Homo-oligomer: A and B are copies of this chain.
Amino acid sequence: MSKPTPLSGFPEWLPGQRLVELSVLDRIRTTFELYGFAPLETRAVEPLDQLLRKGETSKEVYVLRRLQAEGAGSDDDALGLHFDLTVPFARYVLENAGKLHFPFRRYQIQKAWRGERPQEGRYREFTQADIDVVDRDTLPFPYEVEMPLVVGEALGGLPIPPVRIQVNNRKLCEGFYRGLGVGDPEAALRAIDKLDKIGPAAVAALLVESAGATEAQAKACLALAEISASDASFADAVAALGVSDPLLDEGLAELVQVVEAASAAAPGLVVADLRIARGLDYYTGTVYETQLLGYERFGSICSGGRYDNLASSGTDRFPGVGISIGVSRMLGLLFGAGALSASRSVPTCVLVALPDEESRPACDRIAAALRQRGIATEVAPSAAKYGKQIRFAERRGIPYVWFPGADGDEVKDIRSGEQVAASADSWAPPEVDLRPQVIGA
C-alpha cells in the first residue's frame, strides 16, 4: 500500500482529540437523559424519495449501490445516506407509532453525510446530537421553551466558549409579512434567511423581486429582522413598526414566553433575534440558531425549531420540536483554534513496569487488581530498561509507573518524581488523574 492521504471533508481525530469528543458526547448524553429523552439510533440509509422530499437538499445526498449490483434495478439503487437526523426520525415515528408512547422524547447522536463542498467547520461526514419531542395531533407549547434550556445545560458544563442561542418564531415573521401585505410570505422568509450571506441591500432587492414586496414593505421586513433583545422588550420594538395580524400576535406571545422562561432559568443564554429564519421550510413556530462566542463568523453550531407537518401519514400527524448540536462542526473549529485538548492521549493512568519476562504473570495480577478498582492500567510491552519503560509512559502522558518489588511495590508520579510504597489493593491516584481531563483555552 502506498502511504494514504486524508479525504477532504471527512475529518478524523487523533486519539487525544477523540477522548475530548467522547467526553463532550458523554456530557451531552447525560444531560439529555436527565431531561428524560430516550435514546434512539436510526439506520444510516433512507429511501431516496424520502431524502428528496425537500427539494433544496437533493444535491447534497450520497446515493448507495452494491458493487455487485452493477446497473441492475435492485432495490438498493433507491437508498441514500441521511443528511440530518430529523428526516429519519420523522420516518421512524411514522413506522413505529403503534409501539411508541406520545408525547415521545428522544435523543439521537449519530453521523450524517452531505456531499457539499467542504470548508472550515463544514464537513461531508459529521456527528450531530439531536433532541426532539413529538406528539400525536397537537404538541404542547412548553416543549418549545425547554429545547434551548437543555442545550444550554449540555454545553454549559464543558470547557468551551459560552454559547448564545438566538430564537425567533415563524408565526411572528409570517404574520408580520402578511399583516404588512407582502405577496408571498414564504418567499420573504427565504430572502431574510440570506441576510448574513448577501447583506441588506441584496435582500431588499430579493424581497421585491421574489416575494412581491414594495420597497417600503421590504424596508419594514428588514427593520423587523434588525430587532434583537435578551428580554421581552423586543415585543415593543415590533409593535412600534405598526403592523397588526393575529398570527403575528400569536408568534409574539410565544417568543416572549421562550425568552422570559430562559432568562429566568439561564440568564444570558437566549436572545430573541428576529433575523433568524432557518432555510428549511418545514419549521412552523419557534426556530433556534446558536453562536459559539468568538466563532460567530462560522455560523450556527446548534439549530432547530418547531415543525407541524414533517411526520404525517394519512390522518396521522405528529407535530414536533427539536434542536441539533453540530458536534463535529463545534469541535473542528475549537481543535483548529487550539482551544480544546486532552491532558493525555490514552485512558491509561498507571503503567506497570516489567522487571523481566518471568514476572509478567505477577505484573498482570497487579494490573488486574488496579483495574478492579477502576484504575486504567497497562503492563509494559517488554522487559526493557526502566528508563525506556518510563519514557513509554511519558510519551503518552501516563502519570504513574508502578514498580513491582520482592519486598513490596512502589509507584512513581513521573511528573513530580515522587515515589512511594504502594499496594495494588489499596492505592488510588488523585481523582483528577484517574481519567484524561479535557482542557479549554
A interface vs B, CB < 8 Å?
1-7, 10-16, 18-19, 21-22, 33-45, 47-48, 50, 53, 58-69, 76, 79-81, 91-92, 94-96, 99-101, 103, 105-106, 111, 113, 115, 125, 135, 140, 142-143, 261, 264-265, 311-314, 316, 345-348, 360-361, 364, 368, 371, 374-379, 381-382, 392, 395-396
> Do B63 and A381 touch (CB < 8 A)?
no
Task: Tell me the nearest residue of chain B to A379, going by C-beta.
Answer: B142
The residues of B that contact A378 with a CB separation of less than 8 Å are 35-36, 105
> Do B376 and A33 touch (CB < 8 A)?
yes
> Do A67 and B115 touch (CB < 8 A)?
yes
The 10 closest A-B pairs by CB, nearest first: A66-B115, A36-B348, A36-B378, A15-B38, A33-B347, A10-B43, A59-B68, A34-B371, A4-B95, A18-B39
> Do A39 and B15 touch (CB < 8 A)?
yes
Task: Tell me the nearest residue of chain B to A395, going by C-beta.
Answer: B101
Q: Please classify the interface of chain A as helix (H, G, I), strand (E, B), loop, or mixed, using the class held by over half of its residues.
A: mixed
The residues of B that contact A14 with a CB separation of less than 8 Å are 96, 99-100
The smallest beta-carbon distance between A400 and chain B, in angstroms, is 12
Number of chain copies forming the complex: 2
> Do B382 and A35 touch (CB < 8 A)?
no
Task: Tell me the nearest residue of chain B to A32, going by C-beta.
Answer: B347
Inter-chain CA distance A322–B78, complex, in Å, is 35
Inter-chain CA distance A65–B66, complex, in Å, is 11
The residues of B that contact A311 with a CB separation of less than 8 Å are 1
> Do B94 and A12 touch (CB < 8 A)?
no
